[in-house]
Structure 1
């Protein structure tokens, strides 16, 4: 027994000795990267790269690459500088033992006469091509955005002029328009929905204006974000409100890493590393189930909500002139609510009771694409993008009529009537697209010209199983008898079937002209052909910037923007009904003060005129027209401190008015996202390498919602007692103001072979119930409010 103990002791001593040696070997890492010029994509020679607060640094070689060796394990910031270019600050460069941090960075030309200010180049900002409404987020800033749970769409909701339905919704609406009006690009490929759980058909058969609930991107998948709140150039079109460009992280060419995150919401796995000496791989997989959050916050009867996100991206340096990226995404979701999810004792009038609706949803989005960038000369490059996008929706909606106590409490869900398949919607889309964009840089002029070609196939079917009774209706809806306080929906007026293919084509040219050292003009022209609308459109645009001394500039933009009809609306029309594209005329005038390289103040006033807006004459039918008009105007103010040291933050206020007129004789009304006052404050502080603390406060005026009156016993039969809701004024009243205070804390433990992070992220820590919409209950005549209070998540992340 003594021999065994001695042997075990010797073995343990040997193991600990080997670990000690390995620990010493693992305390150092390297930083490597490549610097290229933003306007030409050419590698830059002689660029200085300094590791802040150390004596270490490097100079780029003839390939634009640099290497800083033997850096102690930890978190660092890089300062990248070159004469004639904006200084770039890169924060939270994480060095792990025996690994090499690798990334590519772009440098922008100096901005006009801002010579006395060392302007730090954050992606997309301080770029003469995007002089107005331009904001960006780095990967680290997205991660630090309190209350967002790493969701990029929730992080964007604090930008000036941007709003969302809030609470459980994440889709954004910009400057008086809707959640479906934004240009979304992922690695230069167009996407039309970046959120899960957009409830098509949950109300009366049409898309929910609130948008989706959760982003399709797992935390730390998006490497950089570029957002323009209007005024974007002719390169982008087919949507009219804002531009959001997302860059997916490229794999590390030098070292591999694996991370796993387990939290209340689910599990995320990420691999990042080289595949070969020319190809890198970045891949992620996420599964989310909201049962844990529902149980913790006391939300009952919401059903089952699960979703997944899978992503693969490879990047290959074919040679010195050609770089090829491949991306594949698959995002399935399967929420459902059946009679088995309804608990006895639930009061149908309570908040978040989910009403009397049952549903079963099966949906997914998928994208496969190639992006080839070719350096055609020392002053030009050519980008070719090929992609295939698929979207499927298979929704079934039912209804149940439980036995209720006088106060609205469900006695027994099984004791009553329920119907699982009253309405069904199938919406399948396939899109094959090609984009070719050429950029040429001259001495005082940059030319961008391109072509887009898209083939779209739509397969849509909407069915009502039987004649249905609707207990919510507008005062203006046609009824056979004015004393009939309900509507009868016949399948002949609801059902629709559509299968067709169409072609969309676009051509565009855009210039960025440095007229003088102080004045830059960006004229552009875009042509679009829309196959389903059989419509040709021309969109002239102009933006510019005038510097006023060393720190200030005046910026402006104006132009025409056309928006394609949503595919689901096209498919829901009767044969021969053609809907035109909506038109928006935008005007923006702004002022910017650059206090320092990472601190700026921006004020912008804007106006929009809407024509040919799509309206729905009868809210229960799919028939649509282009009879709508409207206008919106407002002003945004923001003070933004970018992440360059240990902290970053933002204070913003927005004022907006958005009014529509369906030209149906009822006059103007406030648009759904007419939110006059929006205020937000966010901040993040990193006192040391262990802690990151973040907080965010948001306030906004309540959204408009229809006013109504309630009719009792509409069948004049107490044995079949039903109430109905007559909508008397379109958006005639307001929901309660939105208020949320969010916090996040991350504690990081750096080990020799791995990093361990424990985190807590809480949305609405004060637990204010923020209402998103209301549901009328025909059995009780009451309204159940749907919304969300506190929404927490916590977990642990380990990186190897």
Structure 2
């Protein structure tokens, strides 16, 4: 790391003293600006066409752009899907900043008239990021009639799905809980509906999403693998619009539009009712099961004046599922935020946000003799301020800070009826995380741009809690506890802090090609304690404490980026390496549920991940789509003080998230102005498992013998999905669209998990469990009016 830091320092010094451009000797000036809607919402991914020169650049997630040009008179034309074009004349004879506002189109867009945008910006320093407009998302094949953000994310380079029927995903060798999943800047702690067959994101109300995998701005923190930033759209400002959709197991409705000249609103609801379909199965276990979910979105924007906008965004969901005869599950997400955006002028703007997110989970045992209610959850509150300053020549500065408050209920068990279980309640887990950051993007000359960022975090673990003291030289367990220290309500138990430097460099080969490099350090004070590979309703979040140190990741990445001048094709190639500290694994036979001495079951070690990612994307023509290919490895090393606290004799072994080869192909073909067809193919190396390599007899019973953790693999995963979309003639201001899709077209029985079972007369054998082993057709109908 020190060698890389030294090389980066030399590169930055060289960049600062680099002679004024090799692209001609004429003096250049900086043209920068922001693009927003009339309500003040930043237009991320908007295109700016600059003439003369026919130069195209796009805005970042805050609606900003910056480009270096020779002096002269220019025409700026801003374009964004669903918005009217905006033109502005600029006399560029000094560094100039502009502010453009876009207006919503009054007419509905035909769904087949999709203009795919580039998912990357060759001109910016940003790398390892993919932007997707929701209009393209609607063309992807659907499961059970619903397109899904999480499923589409898994088709991007460096990302693999956590498994069939789950909403989790792995990014560059990290676990599912190492991804910060946001909805309008508010964390979502469980993004799954119906155990992952749907996600919390209603596609009818989304604007776009951006996945950040490397080169992450200092503005973001709290997770060490990735940031999934999903944004809701604002209500349109022209007239009320309505949208409704129905499929065999779900229905939805949304409305958006102006309430007054200053106030717009967006509201939506969804519900799923799969129980009647479950009744059609022959299996008693399936036929006697039931499930449901509903979710609600509400967003309002109020424009106080030209410089002040207040917005409110909220989300609520409820899920329920019942397994026959023994267990019912119910979980809920409730989150929201209030934002105040103030523009001080062309040079300074600020956004103050107050956010709240709660997740609760309840499990009820209904089997006779084992009746119980068990609950857990997490409560998150945050206040922060983010500012942007553009008043300095060749600089774009972001800075801000905030505080986050965590309250975790790890578990409460309440028996009832004829149950012989004992009641149990674990201590509340509380903590506070403070952060401050500064990021400066410096345009040194037309070829070189450098982004330098620094984030500082300070975490306090607070009481009430009991801290156990374990005997030295012995494996940690409840029997090795020698003392207990009690901390009262609100007291400071333990603190952690550290700097998180971020840096990225872009070297522009020409207007369409660039080389980029980045380094980032990230810290994570919250993690999921689970014995599964994906996020499930029964998992428990855990804060860093005296025995669990925060996770730390250092990542370096380099890449080559190319976009054709007409945006028809784009290509990127990135190579990365990650160093991981304080990675958690578990003892053999670890008891994680309702364990007051959970630290005794955890093993702490280090990790590494590296890989190479390729993306080829076609954006124009009747056939569009992309091909992404990733080769990566994710390894762990647990070398404890005792043999019981060591895995695989202290040698490196594949992590649970190690899937070396990942191939995704997505194609969308416009057959006719009214017909489009699309397909998505995914191939992934099987997940590592701990397999039995022998068996033995003990007191007349046969047992499987496991040697070496994660030394075998499940079968490789592959699946093909397809969909056919049709747009009806518009009648009486109502536009109808229909789609027919088939998930798992050729009926692949992909293994979700593997287990070993002994049948009399033969040694234990391996058996795989497939969640979805047949093609699943679905149809849905949508109306917009």
TM-score, normalized by length of structure 2? 0.75
Matched, 1:578 2:547: yes
CA distance in 2, matches of 1:708, 1:322: 64
Q: Cα 1:183–1:58, aligned 2, differ >3 Å: closer, same or farther?
A: closer
Contact 1:188-1:245 within 8 A present in 2 as well: yes
Q: Give per-residue Cα distances to partners, 1:72-108, cap 9 Å, x unaligned.
A: x76389xxxxxxxxxxxxx649xxxxxxxxxxxxxxx
1:606 match: 576
1:502 match: 431
Shift of 1:711: 6.4
CA distance in 2, matches of 1:501, 1:710: 45
RMSD value, Cα: 3.7
Matched, 1:545 2:506: yes
Contact 2:617-2:626 within 8 A present in 1 as well: yes
Matched, 1:679 2:675: no
1:475 match: none
Matched, 1:144 2:179: no
Q: Cα 1:668–1:292, aligned 2, differ >3 Å: closer, same or farther?
A: farther
2:709 is paired with a residue whose SS is strand
2:226 match: 242
CA distance in 1, matches of 2:543, 2:569: 54
Q: Give per-residue Cα distances to partners, 1:359-402, cap 9 Å, x unaligned.
A: 31111010121122111121221011111111111124588xxx
Identify which range, 57-66 or 655-664, moves more after superposition. Answer: 57-66
Contact 2:704-2:756 within 8 A present in 1 as well: yes
Shift of 1:689: 3.6
2:782 match: 797
Q: Cα 1:550–1:122, aligned 2, differ >3 Å: closer, same or farther?
A: closer
CA distance in 1, matches of 2:302, 2:252: 25
1:771 is paired with a residue whose SS is coil
1:271 match: 255
Q: Give per-residue Cα distances to partners, 1:710-737, cap 9 Å, x unaligned.
A: 8699775xxxxx8755543311211111
Contact 2:267-2:298 within 8 A present in 1 as well: yes
Matched, 1:650 2:626: yes
Q: Cα 1:697–1:516, aligned 2, differ >3 Å: closer, same or farther?
A: same
Contact 2:245-2:781 within 8 A present in 1 as well: yes
Matched, 1:311 2:297: yes
Shift of 1:575: 13
1:377 is paired with a residue whose SS is coil
Shift of 1:745: 1.1
Q: Cα 1:397–1:620, aligned 2, differ >3 Å: closer, same or farther?
A: farther
Q: Cα 1:197–1:375, aligned 2, differ >3 Å: closer, same or farther?
A: same
Matched, 1:759 2:720: no
1:367 match: 335
2:110 match: 75
1:621 match: 591
1:392 to 351, 360, 378: 360
2:393 match: 443
Shift of 1:137: 0.8
Q: Cα 1:293–1:158, aligned 2, differ >3 Å: closer, same or farther?
A: farther
Q: Cα 1:46–1:649, aligned 2, differ >3 Å: closer, same or farther?
A: same
Matched, 1:668 2:652: yes
Give the alignment of 1:49-448 within 5 angstroms.
59=87, 64=100, 75=110, 92=114, 122=118, 125-126=121-122, 128-130=124-126, 132-147=127-142, 149-196=146-193, 212-291=196-275, 294=278, 301-302=285-286, 303-339=289-325, 358-396=326-364, 420-421=370-371, 425-441=374-390, 442-448=392-398
Contact 2:99-2:346 within 8 A present in 1 as well: no
Q: Give per-residue Cα distances to partners, 1:611-638, cap 9 Å, x unaligned.
A: 1112323442343346211211110011
Give the alignment of 1:699-714 within 5 angstroms.
699-708=683-692
Contact 1:450-1:509 within 8 A present in 2 as well: yes
Contact 1:425-1:463 within 8 A present in 2 as well: yes
CA distance in 2, matches of 1:32, 1:435: 24
CA distance in 1, matches of 2:736, 2:563: 38
1:168 is paired with a residue whose SS is coil
Contact 2:374-2:414 within 8 A present in 1 as well: no
Contact 2:268-2:297 within 8 A present in 1 as well: yes
Q: Give per-residue Cα distances to partners, 1:160-192, cap 9 Å, x unaligned.
A: 110013332232111111111112222223333
Contact 1:684-1:693 within 8 A present in 2 as well: yes
CA distance in 1, matches of 2:717, 2:528: 32
Number of corresponding residues:
646
Q: Cα 1:257–1:640, aligned 2, differ >3 Å: closer, same or farther?
A: same
2:745 is paired with a residue whose SS is coil
Matched, 1:536 2:497: yes
Give the alignment of 1:556-567 within 5 angstroms.
556-566=517-527
Shift of 1:691: 1.5
1:498 is paired with a residue whose SS is coil
Q: Cα 1:296–1:753, aligned 2, differ >3 Å: closer, same or farther?
A: farther
Shift of 1:553: 1.0
Shift of 1:47: 4.8
1:159 is paired with a residue whose SS is coil
1:770 is paired with a residue whose SS is coil
CA distance in 2, matches of 1:737, 1:336: 31
Q: Cα 1:575–1:581, aligned 2, differ >3 Å: closer, same or farther?
A: closer
Q: Cα 1:125–1:498, aligned 2, differ >3 Å: closer, same or farther?
A: farther
CA distance in 1, matches of 2:166, 2:697: 35
Matched, 1:739 2:739: no
CA distance in 2, matches of 1:50, 1:589: 30
2:406 match: 456
Q: Give per-residue Cα distances to partners, 1:228-262, cap 9 Å, x unaligned.
A: 22231211111000111111011111111212111
Task: Give ranges in structure 2 of 5+ residues lacking alignment.
Answer: 1-36, 47-58, 67-73, 90-97, 462-493, 531-538, 593-597, 640-645
Q: Give per-residue Cα distances to partners, 1:508-555, cap 9 Å, x unaligned.
A: 111111111111111111111222362112111111211112322111
Q: Give per-residue Cα distances to partners, 1:28-49, cap 9 Å, x unaligned.
A: xxx9999979578699997546
Q: Give per-residue Cα distances to partners, 1:466-515, cap 9 Å, x unaligned.
A: 9xxxxxxxxxxxxxxxxxxxxxxx999x9660224322111111111111
CA distance in 1, matches of 2:560, 2:105: 43
CA distance in 1, matches of 2:164, 2:304: 46
Contact 2:500-2:523 within 8 A present in 1 as well: yes
Q: Cα 1:627–1:679, aligned 2, differ >3 Å: closer, same or farther?
A: same
Q: Cα 1:69–1:304, aligned 2, differ >3 Å: closer, same or farther?
A: closer
Contact 1:502-1:531 within 8 A present in 2 as well: yes
1:176 is paired with a residue whose SS is coil
1:140 is paired with a residue whose SS is helix
CA distance in 2, matches of 1:398, 1:76: 48
CA distance in 2, matches of 1:506, 1:51: 34
Contact 2:243-2:253 within 8 A present in 1 as well: yes
Q: Cα 1:433–1:57, aligned 2, differ >3 Å: closer, same or farther?
A: closer
Shift of 1:316: 1.6
Q: Cα 1:463–1:578, aligned 2, differ >3 Å: closer, same or farther?
A: farther
Q: Cα 1:431–1:580, aligned 2, differ >3 Å: closer, same or farther?
A: same
2:482 match: none
Q: Cα 1:50–1:122, aligned 2, differ >3 Å: closer, same or farther?
A: closer
